A and B are shown apart, each in its own frame.
Chain A
């Protein structure tokens, strides 16, 4: 037997849950390096033309179709920006070429996640990137897979690149000349494009290049700043149109010098949603224009509705067009329209090459490839192709040749489509074995947590974990053996490359032991609970089983929210759920306050009449009543003896406070419109960030920072007060330096990265955190008293607030202000008057944390993660701080509420005994329940249409949230530990 405090137990539980989730995630997200190595396609492996019996003379790669190729990639170029009314208005030249020039135009569908790096990867490798690539988007490692750029380079051609430096990080040493611009300073949308265009005149005059890639970021930045309907879009499209015209004219004028026709490709990597962001799967984000301009194409006489192609189709088309082998992992199909001016034999030759590459890939990645419909059809098509060639060589020009030709063409196209689609399904294949193992761990942890809730929320907040008993039991060893056997059977029987079969034996052993141990602990705990029988307070529970409205709402809200995760719309609009719940919560709080003040006189007489009933009520708070335990929070007598006749001023303030919070919530709700359904609605955030309202934003930020100082300095020591003030001033200077805000005396400062200012603030943040840690250590070891301890905790909290103020965008500073104001109101007024227990307070804190998360503009889509926070104070990308800062800035709301809960609970220790342990346990339960239910839901919904666009991002958000909560819980546990030490020393 092992006695554990509930906070430590909860913390261990959460860590176990996190481990289980990690195993699950590895199975759920196909790892990008799992199935595709870094092998490259070689020219020597090119198949010859299939010719039945005859030896075809065409065994080499076909010669290139195009000479100079220019890829002009305009980031976030939406389909209707070219083909829609905006295109007609702002891109006259392109539109003219599309309608009457020798051009081909398509709508290229980008697969979600519609984020730049995965899209570039998709276009260059032809493979649909796994979802995990989005996470890798942050540090864009070198692309090792076979790709177009590598093929072009190894064919001895010269590539030049100007634009987004993601390319340079992905393809280092591939470009003979390049100039990268960083995409993280979103507020700048002119300079990024000038940086690209200024090279153009020089480059176009020269002829020492074969492939020119231009990646324009300005439009994407405008989208993020002001949305697709802003007045900035028009001029930007016009600028892009002029560049198209310039390049096209220049290419045409050079046409006489070379034999091969040139090609200009205008495309977008992804679209732009109606709010201007991207990452999701809405049609505006997915549909991008693809315009090919080349003298090789037939001149058009009328504008036809563009046909749909996949974005990956560009890879094989371009590779064959340049006379190169198709990248090995390409899933795209050749766009046949490019070849419409060519002879049938050539068309067949290209289709065959593409089909051959796809069939090779099918052979490698599908174990039962012989049964694949596309693969079989390709075999048939190859045969028909052979007989067509035979007829062709025989000089047959009759009807049969034409008919056979049509048949071959159709068969090839169908085979390509089928093989491509069955391959893209492979990408989305789940590793069920790891998923099941992860789910088992998660389920065991959550069950254990739920089963031991009555003990954990008991008066001592301690309980016994039958750990040693578990290890000595036979069941444990039997389970271990059984799981090992299953592991061996699973990993040897199928050919599937399970992630779990490839990891080291140590990890597998850990998982197996963990699962068996948890199972044994769970069973013995359950056994203990069943044999111990019901606690003696049952009569009390029966007598006073009515729950207050608050308890009802808290339970209903928690479970309702958990259930709502099964619906994709409720995940997309999760912020609505939380706003709705917090609103109702505040109304219930108001009702409780009212009852306390107005109905107090009636109740007083009633309570004095029936003291036993009263006693029962004290003991039986509803959350505990749920698990039939006795409540333990011995509330301080001062709170009970609160005099209602007290100052009416405070009474009215208390009555008013829920309404103040409600109004604040309503204002913040319209600060950032998130989600999908109402995301296009105008909000204050966009209004404030538009460049014409910089003054208003500056005033707002200054006022917010000042108020933050007023609110935070109450709990500061003098030294950290000064540090805080300087830090907040530094934050304003930083925002002014990077151009978000203005100084009234210096409105047109030039924009810098604000490195010095940000580092200046970091110094103060670290200073305050250091003071806090020092105090905590002092209280733990040197002078064991609670005041130093709580002072240290508050210092830590204040340091985190300062960090949050630095990382939040200026228009989101009111969210931080809201968090501080609500925390002040709750602790100063509500908790003092209403005797809530630790569990209720924890749930309320959790709800506010969730609401703050969405107030900040977050959502369950990857698109809303503010990556720029990772670069505050850094010259360029440094992985560890960038990840930490981005994570922190995303979870500011939940984290600050959790940390405040720790501070509050440990400073009110004499009021709520054992409350730290209780609230920690409740926090863990609150996080673990939705996380584990979501894992089961997502497993059952893994073939849902929205799994990649809605459910997967949510899964990532859930696991990140669990990670953040685990961090907060470790702090909690440390605080609880302190208490034990303090008591021991006394």
Chain B
């Protein structure tokens, strides 16, 4: 059971990684001056759109959360989707706020900062929404100590922490006087977040595999 689940997770994660690679490479076939650093805003849009699309499609195909697969009335489904959208938007705003608190300019590169917040939300909040539903209690449970109840929860922990940590690390080269194009706000941070997310997608199944014996999930 566990191995099948793990294999499923691995393939899902590989698809996500491929989607990120595609979002970086494919647009340059259609657009002449597309590059990650040059047209950063566009790349951010494409990347977050692709990743979110792939995440939602994967979620619909896999139905990772068994509790949510009970029969739902259409009206409750609609409210759930609405709640999810609202939470996603709120998370974007919160991320934007935190970025500004970290010193991002308030007005100058507003769109870039906001798109960075959207990207971070795609990497973290959207996955939470897909796997746990718009249920904040469940989120708190997953992210508190020893709160993971399935390998999906563990992978969620790993990807979230890695994406945020990647973004955090990405801020470090900004003050250096190398004058490279990628040092401009927020490129190094977005790249860091993307890199962290990509790496965590690969690492998460492997980590779970290696720690199979230590991971014991209590059932509620």
* Chain A residues at the B interface, C-beta cutoff of 8 Å: 567-570, 572-573, 576-577, 579-580, 583-584, 587, 595, 598-599, 602-603, 606, 662-663, 665-666, 669, 675-677
A587 & B144 in contact (Cβ 8 Å cutoff):
no
A851 to chain B, nearest CB (A): 12
Name B156-172 residues within 8 Å CB distance of A: 168, 171
B101 & A666 in contact (Cβ 8 Å cutoff):
yes
- Contacts A580-B102, A665-B101 given; indicate if A599 touches B144 (C-beta within 8 A): yes
- Contacts A599-B140, A599-B144 given; indicate if A663 touches B101 (C-beta within 8 A): yes
Give the complex CA separation of A584 and B171 in angstroms: 12
Q: List 5 A-B contacts (CB under 8 A).
A: A580-B171, A584-B168, A603-B145, A666-B103, A677-B177
- Which chain A residues border B101 with CB–CB below 8 Å? 583, 662-663, 665-666
A602 & B102 in contact (Cβ 8 Å cutoff):
no
A602 CB contact (under 8 Å) in B98, B144, B171, B176: B144
B102 & A583 in contact (Cβ 8 Å cutoff):
yes
Give the complex CA separation of A602 and B144 in angstroms: 9
B144 & A576 in contact (Cβ 8 Å cutoff):
no
> Closest residue of chain B to A595, judged by CB?
B144
- Contacts A569-B177, A584-B168 given; indicate if A598 touches B103 (C-beta within 8 A): no
Give the complex CA separation of A192 and B46 in angstroms: 60
Name the interface size band of chain B.
Answer: 10 to 19
- Which chain A residues border B177 with CB–CB below 8 Å? 568-569, 572, 676-677
> Closest residue of chain A to B98, judged by CB?
A587
> Closest residue of chain B to A603, judged by CB?
B145
- Which chain B residues border A662 with CB–CB below 8 Å? 101
A556 to chain B, nearest CB (A): 10
- Which chain B residues border A603 with CB–CB below 8 Å? 144-145
Give the complex CA separation of A519 and B147 in angstroms: 51
- Which chain A residues border B103 with CB–CB below 8 Å? 576, 579-580, 583, 666, 669
- Which chain A residues border B87 with CB–CB below 8 Å? none
Give the complex CA separation of A662 and B171 in angstroms: 18
B171 & A666 in contact (Cβ 8 Å cutoff):
no
Compute the total of residue contacts between A and B using a CB distance below 8 Å: 49
Most chain B CB within 10 A, of A579, A595, A603, A666, is at A666
> Interface 1/0s, chain B 135-148, versus A by CB < 8 A?
00000110011110
B145 & A599 in contact (Cβ 8 Å cutoff):
yes
B100 beta carbon closer than 8 Å to chain A: yes
The secondary structure that dominates the B interface is loop
B192 to chain A, nearest CB (A): 13
B175 beta carbon closer than 8 Å to chain A: yes
Q: Known pairs A602-B141, A676-B177. 4 more at Cβ < 8 A? A: A569-B177, A579-B103, A580-B102, A580-B171
Give the complex CA separation of A567 and B173 in angstroms: 11
> Closest residue of chain B to A665, judged by CB?
B101
Give the complex CA separation of A676 and B175 in angstroms: 10
- Which chain B residues border A677 with CB–CB below 8 Å? 175, 177
Give the complex CA separation of A677 and B100 in angstroms: 19
Give the complex CA separation of A960 and B144 in angstroms: 43
Give the complex CA separation of A296 and B139 in angstroms: 84
Give the complex CA separation of A573 and B183 in angstroms: 14
B175 & A570 in contact (Cβ 8 Å cutoff):
yes
- Which chain A residues border B98 with CB–CB below 8 Å? 587
- Which chain A residues border B176 with CB–CB below 8 Å? 567, 569-570
B100 & A666 in contact (Cβ 8 Å cutoff):
yes
> Closest residue of chain A to B102, judged by CB?
A583
> Closest residue of chain B to A678, judged by CB?
B175
Give the complex CA separation of A568 and B178 in angstroms: 11
- Which chain A residues border B140 with CB–CB below 8 Å? 598-599
Give the complex CA separation of A662 and B101 in angstroms: 6
> Closest residue of chain A to B105, judged by CB?
A681
- Which chain A residues border B100 with CB–CB below 8 Å? 666
B175 & A602 in contact (Cβ 8 Å cutoff):
no
B143 to chain A, nearest CB (A): 9
B105 to chain A, nearest CB (A): 8
Give the complex CA separation of A647 and B171 in angstroms: 39
Give the complex CA separation of A111 and B101 in angstroms: 38
- Which chain B residues border A583 with CB–CB below 8 Å? 101-103
Give the complex CA separation of A569 and B172 in angstroms: 11
Give the complex CA separation of A291 and B105 in angstroms: 42
Give the complex CA separation of A340 and B198 in angstroms: 69
A569 & B175 in contact (Cβ 8 Å cutoff):
yes
A834 to chain B, nearest CB (A): 15
- Which chain B residues border A573 with CB–CB below 8 Å? 175
> Interface 1/0s, chain B 88-115, versus A by CB < 8 A?
0000000000101111000000000000
